[in-house]
Structure 1
Amino acid sequence: MYVPEHFGYPPEELDALLARVRIADLVTVGPQGPEATVLPFVFRPDEGEHGVLRAHLSRVNDQWRHAGPALVVVHGPDGYVDPSDVPSPHAVPTWNYITVHVRGRLVAHDDPRWVRRAMVELVAAQASDFDFDTLSPRMLDGLVRSAVGVEVIVESIVGKAKMSQNRSSTDIAGIADSWSRRVEDPQQVFAGRCPAEGIGYLRNESLAHAIARERATEEIRERK
């Protein structure tokens, strides 16, 4: 993934983002070429060298057979930036987003006990009080055997936050304010996901980045 330096997502915050965003695109390459499936995952950063992602696939989905290199694309908050959101003149439409690419090795677990543990773990991560033991033995057995567990042994994690860091602090504040107005006004439509988190990133990380850059530029100008 192409990541300009100013759009790099803080490495120390990647684990927290993966823990919050529990659904992603699993991408592998099979005999027919690239394939992708949207899957809920559980991330365990303390297992293996870089952590593991655990999930399960329907048994009829042959992607579980694609053992080997895998890419997991995690989508964080995103949103459309209209030129009217930007105080500076001559702005053009763009899209802000946060994404994480996790690369690793896909391992399949065709073991009912492993699959059940993975299902229990996934539901527990949602703070749900659902208990699989409330299902009849026949229903539970059918559910577990209809799936195959998959695990991505993580080898690298790269995050990207294209969140207007290349704009001025005034522009970033203006974009955040415009997003807030669209979210709060029921007659307007916010084109994007997780606007509250996106607005928070703009008002904190993006704004801090722009202010630091502007101060550094001003210091250089004063030395001349």
Structure 2
Amino acid sequence: MRQNPSFTLADVTEMRRVIDANPWANIVSAGSDGLVASHYVVLLDETRDDLTVVGHVGRPDDLIHGMGERELLVVFQGPHGYVSPGWYGDVQAVPTWNYTAVHLSGVPEILSDEENLEVLDRLVRRFEERMPDPRLMWERPNDPAFVQRLAAGTVGFRLTPTRLVAKRKLSQNKPAETIEAVISALSEDGPYANRELAAEMRRAQDARTGASR
């Protein structure tokens, strides 16, 4: 991802927020047969306060990616959407796409079987606890043999990035009144209504201006 000083996201706390809120990630590597991409949930390592992440891949994706042997690129995509030039008013303009993204690169560490089970358990809890009747990994009707058998088909990893690029392209290069107009348009009903993107733009704009809401 090409970086642009106007859109650089350098705040680790903000990058962690984007990762935590958007855990469905793209995992990309370059092997002997060319580029390969997989799609998995990847979480922040809760034992760290940096950008270290943990996750798993199913076998044989570990072999396809050369897991633990070569560099991975893990891509997190935040809210994104179309921005119409009509929202800028009566000025020369072209359409664009606003977005937030965090790219983490590095050679991952392979987790032990025990660590992998802990990550899988946390993964299930992260999403299942929102259900009215959660089905957690170690609870009936699952039994330990069933869980162990499924876990054996996965390979857990921890990635502490050695390279990162984070970008928040949210109309920061536009006048304040234009930003407000785009936020308003995204917040209203219409073919490109996108309240999540509007909220992300509001967050970035308030951070720039020091406003609190």
1:76-112 CA-partner distances (Å, limit 9, x unpaired): 1111011222224222111011101112212334x54
Within the alignment, does 1:131 sit opposite 2:133 as a pair? Answer: no
**What residue in structure 2 maps to residue 150 of structure 1?**
157
Give 4+ residue runs of structure 1 displaced > 4 Å after superposition: none
In the alignment, the residues of structure 2 paired with residue 64 and residue 148 of structure 1 have an alpha-carbon distance, to the nearest angstrom, of 11
**What residue in structure 2 maps to residue 55 of structure 1?**
55
Is the contact made by 1:51 and 1:153 (CA closer than 8 Å) also made in structure 2?
Answer: yes
Is the contact made by 1:8 and 1:159 (CA closer than 8 Å) also made in structure 2?
Answer: yes
Is the contact made by 2:79 and 2:200 (CA closer than 8 Å) also made in structure 1?
Answer: no
- Greater mean alpha carbon deviation, residues 94-103 or residues 111-120: 111-120
Residues 88/164 of structure 1: CA separation in 2 closer, same or farther (3 Å cut)? farther
Residues 64/147 of structure 1: CA separation in 2 closer, same or farther (3 Å cut)? farther
User: SS of the residue aligned with 2:53?
Assistant: strand
Residues 24/95 of structure 1: CA separation in 2 closer, same or farther (3 Å cut)? same
- Greater mean alpha carbon deviation, residues 156-165 or residues 89-98: 156-165
Residues 207/19 of structure 1: CA separation in 2 closer, same or farther (3 Å cut)? closer
**What residue in structure 2 maps to residue 19 of structure 1?**
20
1:11-46 CA-partner distances (Å, limit 9, x unpaired): 142122222221211111212122111110111265
Residues 83/59 of structure 1: CA separation in 2 closer, same or farther (3 Å cut)? same
Is the contact made by 1:108 and 1:150 (CA closer than 8 Å) also made in structure 2?
Answer: yes
Among residues 57, 79, 83, which one is paired with 1:77 in the alignment?
79
**What residue in structure 1 maps to residue 116 of structure 2?**
115
Count of paired positions:
201
User: SS of the residue aligned with 1:142?
Assistant: helix
User: SS of the residue aligned with 2:118?
Assistant: helix
**What residue in structure 1 maps to residue 166 of structure 2?**
159
In the alignment, the residues of structure 2 paired with residue 196 and residue 149 of structure 1 have an alpha-carbon distance, to the nearest angstrom, of 35
Q: Which runs of 5+ in 1 are unaligned?
A: 213-224
Higher helix share: 1
In the alignment, the residues of structure 2 paired with residue 157 and residue 57 of structure 1 have an alpha-carbon distance, to the nearest angstrom, of 21
Q: TM-score, normalised by structure 1?
A: 0.78
Q: TM-score, normalised by structure 2?
A: 0.82
Within the alignment, does 1:173 sit opposite 2:173 as a pair? Answer: no
**What residue in structure 1 maps to residue 200 of structure 2?**
201
**What residue in structure 2 maps to residue 38 of structure 1?**
39
